[in-house]
Amino acid sequence: MHSMGNCRAVNYNLKIMDWVTVKLKAGRIVPALATTTACVAGLQTLELVKIVMKAKKEDHRNIFLNLAVPFLQASEPADVMKEQLVEGLEVSLWDRWEMTGNTDTTIADVITHFEDTYKGLEVRDILRGNMPIFFYAIMNAQGKEKEKEKVLSTSVHSATESYPDDKYVDLNITCVRKDDQEAKILNGVPPLRVSFKQQPQSESK
């Protein structure tokens, strides 16, 4: 535990601990593992068994647990909240949209795919996490025509600084309804996962 803990510390640039410190910290963790953590793991396993058995939603349970009191209460899970972006298009917190592309797929391709697939939505900004990829307001400003053309023709793989062996990238896209005069940004738009399908290598002659 001392060796592996310090390996992780080096990997994440954390302070290395001596053997005694590791022993003291682990000594405080073990009682927790044998109590609350064990209960939570057991309750999660029960729910997983229900999933394997294809149980109905009403057969599943949310558990509220406090061993200090002690207190345990079970309740039926509610339906996930859904948001209607446009007519006929509902999304939830758990949704993720997919796009099959490759390392040559451009920002323009992403915008075209998005607006063609999800009718009634218009792309505004594209980000990877907090990294800006495309800003509608800036790119459509006067005098930015050449810069906009350059950004749109840039590959997603390059713009997101993805590694050569990355299989995909998740993009956060803000959008508005096409018929909205106020251009109000919609909440709840799922992330778009762009897959980098490997290009077939040409045979050498």
Q: Per-block average pLDDT, block size 10, for the chain (205 residues)?
A: 89 91 79 78 94 94 89 91 93 96 96 96 96 95 94 96 94 95 94 84 49
Between CA 192 and CA 171 the distance in angstroms is: 5
Residue-wise pLDDT for 116-161, tens only, equals: 999 999 999 999 999 999 999 999 999 999 999 999 999 999 999 9
- How many other CB atoms are found less than 10 A from the CB of residue 112? 13
Between CA 2 and CA 8 the distance in angstroms is: 10
pLDDT of residue 58: 92
Q: Report whether the peptide linkage leading into residue 132 is cis, meaning its omega lies within 30 degrees of zero.
A: no
Between CA 92 and CA 123 the distance in angstroms is: 19
pLDDT of residue 102: 95
**Domain 82-196, CATH:** 3.10.290.60
Confirm if 89 and 80 have CB atoms less than 8 A apart. no
pLDDT of residue 69: 86
pLDDT of residue 92: 95
Query: What angle is formed at CA 23 by the lines to CA 18 and CA 28, rounded to 5 degrees?
Result: 130
- What SS3 state is found at 159? helix
Between CA 102 and CA 114 the distance in angstroms is: 16
pLDDT of residue 141: 93
- What SS3 state is found at 51? helix
Residue 60: exposure state from Cβ atoms within 10 A (0-12, 13-18, ≥19): middle
Domain residue ranges in the chain: 2-75, 82-196
Confirm if 140 and 96 have CB atoms less than 8 A apart. no
Q: Return all residues near 152 (Cβ < 8 A) that are at least 6 apart.
A: 106, 107, 108, 111, 134
pLDDT of residue 204: 47
